[in-house]
Amino acid sequence: MEDNASMDLAIETVDLTKRYGSLVAVNKLNLQVEKNTIHGFLGPNGAGKTTTIKVLVGLLRRARFPSFLSI
């Protein structure tokens, strides 16, 4: 990932992990999204797309920190 000082980020997550009991739904996701950009979030059913979004907006608690969301 690039140096954060040179980027204006809307979303950043480092090692985002979400578990449901022994099931790991999202495992150590690292993500940086710059402001004023458009991205798609693709993957097969059960890949953790919805879980990731719910964690980022605060609807679910994550197992690992930190994440940053700036709108």
- 3 state DSSP class of 40: coil
Q: What is the pLDDT of residue 3?
A: 58
- 3 state DSSP class of 27: strand
Q: What is the pLDDT of residue 7?
A: 79
Number of domains composing the chain: 1
CATH of the domain at 58: 3.40.50.300
Q: What is the pLDDT along the chain (71 residues), one digit of tens a residue?
A: 555 556 799 998 888 999 999 999 999 999 999 999 999 999 999 999 999 999 988 898 876 555 565 65
Give the residue carrying structure tokens 């954060």.
Answer: 4
Residue type, position 60, single letter: L
Domain ranges, residue 33: 4-69
A 10 A CB-CB count for 52 gives 22
CA 48, 53, 57, 59 torsion-angle sign: negative
Q: Which pTM value belongs to this model?
A: 0.75
